[in-house]
C-alpha cells in the first residue's frame, strides 16, 4: 500500500502516519477506526464548502446556497471524489467487508474521505484541510451551473416552463410492470402547448416521473429554440425509454398476426 501516492493526491503529507492509517481504517478492521475522524471531517467539509460558495456566488440567496452545499457534500458527490483519488486501494477493511466488496461501497468511500479531512485537520490544522477541500471542489464548481446543480428533472422542467409562461406538465401512470415487490412504473409526461409527449420508467412512480421529466425538458428546450416544428417528429415510446437509460418492454406479437399463422 503506497501511502505516499495517496498523500500526493491529497496534496498533504502527514507528520503523524498513525492518523493517516486510522483515517483509512474501517470499523470492521479494528477497534481503532475512522468514525470519530469522519465526524470531525464532515463538520470541516461543510464549513469550507459553505465558505467557498459564499465567496464565489455573491448574488445567490441563502436557500440556493444551502441547496448547492447539500448537493456538493452528499454521499454521491464524496464517492465520486473518492473514486478520482482511487481511494479504494488504500482502505483497511475487515475480512468480511473485503469479501462483500466493501472497497467499492459508496458509503464506505465517502466516510473515509471525510475521515481523511478530519485527520488532516488534526495533523496540520485548518488551512491544510481547507486547501485539500478546495482542490476537490473548485474544479467541480468551474464546470457546473449553480442555478441547476442539485435540482431534479421535475423541478428544472417546471422552472423552465414557468419562465416561458407555459402551463405545467401533466404526469400519468401508463402501466406497471413486474412483481409487486419489484414493480416498475411507466410514466407519461405531457406538455400540451409544445406538443410534447414522452415516457419514462423507474422503480417507483417518482423515479418514473423524473425519467420522463428529463426527456420532456430536453424536448421543451429544443421546441422553444427551434419552434413547434421541432416536436412534430417524436421518437416512439420504446426508443424514449431506451434514451432514458431504462430497459424497454418486449413487444408482444399482434393478436391478428398470431391468428393468421394458425
Which residues are documented as binding site? 38, 111, 114
Q: Please state, in angstroms and rounded to a whole number, the distance separating the CA atoms of residues 25 and 14.
A: 16
Contact yes or no for 136/155 (Cβ under 8 A): no
Long-range contacts of 234-239 (CB under 8 A, 24+ apart): 234/196, 234/197, 234/198, 237/199
* Residue 91 half-sphere exposure toward CB, CA atoms < 13 A: 29
Largest Cα separation within the chain, whole Å, is 81
Q: Please state, in angstroms and rounded to a whole number, the distance separating the CA atoms of residues 71 and 65.
A: 10
User: Of these residues, 16, 35, 42, 62, which one is catalytic?
Assistant: 42
- Residues paired with residue 29 on neighbouring β-strands, in sequence order: none
Give all strands of the β-sheet with 184-191 in edge-to-edge order.
170-177, 184-191, 196-202
Contact yes or no for 185/176 (Cβ under 8 A): yes
What does R_g of the chain's alpha carbons equal in angstroms? Answer: 24
Q: Please state, in angstroms and rounded to a whole number, the distance separating the CA atoms of residues 221 and 106.
A: 34
User: Of these residues, 80, 95, 97, 114, which one is catalytic?
Assistant: 114
Return the closest-CA partner of residue 187 out of 232, 136, 222, 237: 237
In the residue annotation, 86 being an active-site residue is answered as no
Q: Please state, in angstroms and rounded to a whole number, the distance separating the CA atoms of residues 222 and 167.
A: 17
In the residue annotation, 188 being an active-site residue is answered as no
Count of C-beta atoms within a 10 Å radius of residue 169? 24
Binding-site residue ranges for Mg(2+): 38, 111, 114
The catalytic residues are 42, 114
Amino acid at each position: 500500500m503506497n501511502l505516499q501516492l495517496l498523500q500526493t493526491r491529497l496534496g498533504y503529507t502527514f507528520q503523524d502516519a498513525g492518523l493517516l492509517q486510522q483515517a483509512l481504517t474501517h470499523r470492521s478492521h479494528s477497534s481503532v477506526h475512522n468514525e470519530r475522524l469522519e465526524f470531525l471531517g464532515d463538520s470541516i467539509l461543510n464549513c469550507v464548502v459553505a465558505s467557498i460558495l459564499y465567496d464565489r456566488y455573491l448574488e445567490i440567496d441563502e436557500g440556493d446556497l444551502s441547496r448547492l452545499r447539500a448537493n456538493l457534500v452528499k454521499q454521491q458527490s464524496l464517492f465520486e471524489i473518492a473514486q478520482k483519488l482511487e481511494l479504494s486501494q488504500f482502505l483497511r477493511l475487515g475480512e468480511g467487508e473485503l469479501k462483500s466488496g466493501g472497497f467499492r461501497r459508496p458509503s464506505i468511500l465517502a466516510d473515509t474521505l471525510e475521515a481523511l479531512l478530519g485527520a488532516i485537520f488534526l495533523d496540520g490544522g485548518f488551512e491544510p484541510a481547507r486547501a485539500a477541500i478546495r482542490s476537490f471542489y473548485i474544479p467541480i464548481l468551474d464546470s457546473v451551473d449553480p442555478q441547476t446543480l442539485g435540482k431534479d428533472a421535475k423541478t428544472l422542467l417546471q422552472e423552465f416552463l414557468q419562465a416561458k409562461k407555459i402551463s405545467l406538465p401533466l404526469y400519468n401512470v401508463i402501466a406497471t410492470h413486474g412483481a409487486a415487490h419489484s414493480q416498475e412504473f411507466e410514466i407519461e409526461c405531457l406538455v400540451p402547448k409544445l406538443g410534447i409527449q414522452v415516457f419514462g420508467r423507474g422503480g417507483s412512480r417518482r423515479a418514473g416521473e423524473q425519467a420522463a421529466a428529463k426527456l420532456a425538458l430536453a424536448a421543451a428546450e429544443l421546441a422553444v429554440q427551434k419552434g413547434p416544428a421541432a416536436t412534430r417528429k417524436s421518437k416512439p415510446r420504446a426508443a424514449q425509454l431506451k434514451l432514458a437509460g431504462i430497459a424497454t418492454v418486449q413487444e408482444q406479437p399482434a393478436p391478428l398476426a398470431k391468428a393468421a399463422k394458425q
